[in-house]
Amino acid sequence: MLYCLDAGGEVCRIETAETWACRRDHILQHMQQVMGPLPDVDRSVPPSYTVLETTEFPAYTRKTIRYEVEPGPSVSAFLFLPKGVQKRRPAMLCLHPTSPLGKRIVAGEGEKPNRNYAMELAERGYVALAPDYPGFGDDVEARKALYEQGYVSCTMKGIWNHIRGVDLLQSLPEVDPERLGCIGHSLGGHNALFAGVFDPRLRVLITSCGFTTFPKYMNGDLTGWTHDGYMPRIAEVYEKDPAKMPFDFTEVLGTLAPRAIFINAPLHDANFEVSGVRDAVNSARAVYALFGAEEQVLAVYPEAEHDFPDEARQAAYAFLDEQFKR
């Protein structure tokens, strides 16, 4: 991964953080070949939002909102505001896993307590925003609309929704705009990484069961990445072939350097094979070394299946607290 083409077309080794910047730009271009282009519009005005419902809990207030990201359907989300806090707080974008319940999964309304990270972070004093991904929760009809809008992948629409969600968080008086992060499991796990790639304001990324390298995903069968909730071009252009893909998660992790990243990769995850996770992490560490930031990558490999067990979540929260010096 630490190679690039110079101005003369010759392969040269990347040995500094400065020369990595060019390689990083190429990776973002390659990701957009698959996902479609990141919208290039004015974001100087934060998204407007409407409060639909306010629910009180012992440690926080939860507001059900809809926020505007662009012309077209708005995004449904929960906004968690901790109680009894006078100073500005760090804020987390909390991305849900695959479930018809969408954002409710991370808010304590699903069957698995190991998915309650938005609720748990609010209880720890974090402001949290948990949006629905297109096609889930209260935005079940949004997926069809995004393709009609001209997006070529739901992945890029999700990225844009999440970037605008960060814009919203930064605008809130309760939020310290310099202490922002993102957390997600499964679907939310890779969406957290993708949001981090395209939004450098996210200083800490926590991904659980979110990726493996493409050759080790389902023995190289990328069908699972090709439906309308992800990136159809993986089938239409790249024929579901890992060898033809212009990027992999090795590059995705590398683009995040030197920002902090916590990775939960259970040893028995049937979705995302763990040796591929180790491969990507090891490659990313070489990039982080260019910045002298190897300690900013923390990976745990619990004895679990496709899950975010309590011990791993608590380790992630401790990592987050340390990064934000709470």
pLDDT recorded at residue 117: 99
- pLDDT value of residue 7: 63
- In this prediction, residue 12 carries a pLDDT of 75
What tokens appear for 135 in the block?
A: 């096609």
List, in sequence order, the alpha helices (H) in the chain.
Answer: 17-35, 117-123, 142-148, 154-171, 187-198, 233-236, 249-255, 274-290, 310-324
Give the per-residue pLDDT at 196: 99
Give the model's pLDDT for residue 6: 64
- pLDDT score recorded for residue 326: 67
User: What's the confidence (pLDDT) of residue 86?
Assistant: 82
Averages of pLDDT over each 10 residues, the chain, 326 residues: 69 84 94 98 94 98 98 95 93 98 97 96 98 97 92 98 98 98 99 99 99 98 98 98 98 98 99 98 97 97 98 98 90
pLDDT in the model for residue 11: 73
State the pLDDT at residue 280.
98
Distance (Å) of CA 57 to CA 80, 81, 88, 96, 104: 10, 10, 20, 20, 15
Which residue shows structure tokens 């067990």? 309
* Nearest CA-CA partner of 238 in 31, 44, 19: 31
For residue 68, how far is the Cα from the chain centroid? 20
